Amino acid sequence: MISLAVYSKISKFDFIRMWDGFTPALAVAHAFGRIGCFLNGCCYGKPTSLFIGLAYPQGSEPAQRYGEAALHPVQLYEAGENLLCAVLYFYLVRKAPRGVPVASYFIIYGVLRFVNEFARGDHKLIWNLFTPAQLIGIILISAGIAMMIYFLRRREMPRVES
């Protein structure tokens, strides 16, 4: 973020528009990161009886914790969600006012992460209420709402060039 801020200042690019432009790529990169989590066996889910549950091989961290139980593939849930969101962000970058795409990313990702944490099986609760990621989700949602209000009040529509 610091590098982008410095680069935008030097090259006289609008920092917020630059962030808006990066939101679709950020969502796609995040999706690939979650696929990496799935392949690595980290960020695993809780046991499930749903048909989509997956068992991990013996010796892996999830198998050590839950044995042969089928677990929610939360990494794949989040990868799919991020890919769907990338489509939305591509649309918002072209059609929404300045700042709305990045504010949307904060809100949507915060909500998705908060909800997905209920299916995760690799974190401990803080204050017996939330996981660390849920607390971060609450912060992201709050920041995104504040940003959305700010940018929508400014109402600077993007110039679409064909």
Over residues 12-59, the pLDDT tens digits come to 888 889 899 999 999 999 999 999 999 998 889 999 999 999 999 898
φ/ψ bin of 96: left (φ > 0), alpha (ψ from -120 to 50), beta (otherwise): beta
Other beta carbons within 10 angstroms of residue 3's beta carbon come to 7
Does 162 map to a domain?
Answer: no
Of the candidates 8, 30, 51, which has an alpha carbon nearest to the alpha carbon of residue 116? 30
Distance from C-alpha of 137 to C-alpha of 153, rounded to nearest angstrom? 24
Residue tagged 């401990």 (tokens): 124
Confidence at residue 154, expressed as pLDDT on a 0 to 100 scale: 83
Q: In terms of pLDDT, which residue wins out, 144 or 7?
A: 144
Position 19 in a domain: no
User: What contacts 121, CB < 8 A, 6 or more positions away?
Assistant: 44, 45, 46, 47, 62, 65, 66, 71, 72
Sign of torsion over alpha carbons 33, 50, 84, 45: negative
User: Is residue 115 one of the residues assigned to a domain?
Assistant: yes
User: Which pLDDT score, from 0 to 100, does residue 129 have?
Assistant: 83
Domain total in the chain: 1
pLDDT for position 45: 92
pLDDT digits (tens, 9 = 90+) for 53-111: 999 989 888 899 999 999 999 999 999 999 999 999 999 999 999 999 999 999 999 99
Is 140 contained in some domain? yes
In a domain, 58, yes or no: no
Determine the residue type at 18. Answer: M
Range of 146's domain?
31-39+73-154
Mean pLDDT value across residues 125-132: 82
Q: What is the pLDDT of residue 33?
A: 97
**pTM attached to this predicted model:** 0.84
Q: Is residue 142 part of a domain?
A: yes
Examine residue 22 and state whether it is found in any structural domain, yes or no.
Answer: no
Q: Considering the domain boundaries, does residue 14 fall inside one? A: no
